[in-house]
Amino acid sequence: MASSSTSATTAPAVASNSKFRVLTASLVGTTIEFFDFYIYATAAVLIFPHLFFPASSGSAAMLQSLATFAIAFIARPIGAALFGHLGDRIGRKATLVAALLTMGISTVCIGLLPTYAQIGIVAPLLLALCRLGQGLGLGGEWSGAVLLATENAPEGKRAWYGMFPQLGAPIGFILAAGSFLTLGALMPDEAFMQWGWRIPFIASAILVLVGLYIRLKLHETPAFQKVLDKQKEVTIPFTEVVTKHSKQLLLGTIGAVCTFVVFYLTTVFALNWGTTHLGYARGQFLEMQLLATLCFAAFIPLSAILAEKFGRKITSIGVCLAAAIFGLFFADLLASGSTLMVFLFLCIGLSIMGLTYGPIGTVLSELFPTSVRYTGSALTFNLAGILGASFAPLIATKLAETYGLQAVGYYLTAASILSLIAFLLIRETKNEDVNNQI
């Protein structure tokens, strides 16, 4: 009788999670998160070496700035474990709100930081602390947004629903690059370097408030509501994932490496190399990246269609092959000396990124039962971030300076083959009723 009463009281709340509200909440949240993350990535290349590490030489300052960029990826698995625990214990909604606040506050604080010239060595330390907060927040945000979509999806449409939070990545990147381009065009370089760069960081507070408004109106996902109704919450989800689902954790992590390497070599590394070694102006290269990001956005829905039709496994294997081949032509395109070829390089790289990124959230979430899905999917994605993204721009820069751009391409090819092997070993989940696996 108690069970029937519980079901009766929760049914209206679940029903109020309309398709529009679910997909909007998942998309808006990840757009905000990735906007915050990408404005840091852009500033780490263009701004922070000059304002927070001026005591070092140009090359050393750039490497130090990229090292602070890496801090967030190291923090993301910690955020995944922390917010994953909350998400698998108390629910998706409350955890998503907490993760968004953590990310948003950290980003606004970066825009308010004094520089090295004002407070000395404390400035880069505070920058690193704020970057740590960004990483913790994003570590919990991405998985929760994916689960919000996929756990509300009807059977046969999980990959399609799971694609919507992924669209937040290109939208966030477009907003981030667009804001820097607009500010650079509206003010002199001196003013931009002194205070203009702060505007996107502080303005992100508006986006955070919008995201909070939408998410606070949500109810728990139907899949996790079943866990609550049956009182099947896991006491320590992290331990459960590591001890009982270690194979899925390992394969999911390796499988997602290609996604990170493709993206951060095509964006952060390419922006750094293009503006420091290939002679492109900051605005010119950002404009090319901004246009190429449209390819990223366009190929995400295509990847979801492929994942629904042919399966997650076959789709992911095919994309890893494409990324491996792209790595062999990496240097020829980027160092061609032709602006058209460089733009083609960006379009191809970000198209592949769209194909690999679109289904990855669905793939990783479907590897784990509902009771530990938040923790499991968050850990796999963010551990892959350490392996594939945290030091990717730094490693690529060192490889290019020591062995030439061709070595960077081989780095991408090797990462893609590694992920391909993992996907060969991952089970196909297209036809599984994963939302009933508690």
**How confident is the model at residue 16, as a pLDDT?**
55
> Which of 136, 124, 137 minimizes the C-alpha distance to 32?
137
Q: Are 33 and 138 in contact (CB under 8 A)?
A: yes
- What does pTM read for this prediction? 0.83
Reported as a single tens digit per residue, the pLDDT across 334-365 is 999 899 999 999 999 999 999 999 999 999 99
pLDDT value at 307 more than 90: yes
pLDDT per position as a tens digit, 234-243: 889 999 999 9
d(CA 399, CA 425): 30
Q: How confident is the model at residue 57 (pLDDT cuts 50, 70, 90)?
A: low
| Superfamily of domain 2-436 in the CATH hierarchy | MFS general substrate transporter like domains (1.20.1250.20)
Cα separation values, 366 from 120, 263, 385, 416, Å: 48, 23, 19, 21
Average model confidence (pLDDT) across the chain: 87
Q: At what angle do helices 198-215 and 158-186 cross, to 10 degrees?
A: 150
Q: Where are the domains of the chain?
A: 2-436
Q: Are 429 and 367 in contact (CB under 8 A)?
A: yes
Cα distance from N-terminal residue to C-terminal residue, the chain: 22
Burial class (CB in 10 A: 0-12, 13-18, 19+), 9: exposed
| 17-27 pLDDT tens trace | 778 888 888 88
pLDDT band, residue 55 (cuts 50/70/90): low
Residue linked to tokens 């625990």: 85
Q: What are phi and psi of 61, to 5 degrees?
A: -65, -40
pLDDT higher than 50, residue 188: yes
Residue 10 has a pLDDT of 42
Of 265, 349, 351, 30, the residue nearest 169 (C-alpha): 30
Read off the pLDDT of residues 212-266 as tens digits, 9 standing for 90 and up: 888 888 888 888 888 888 878 888 999 999 999 999 999 999 999 999 999 989 9
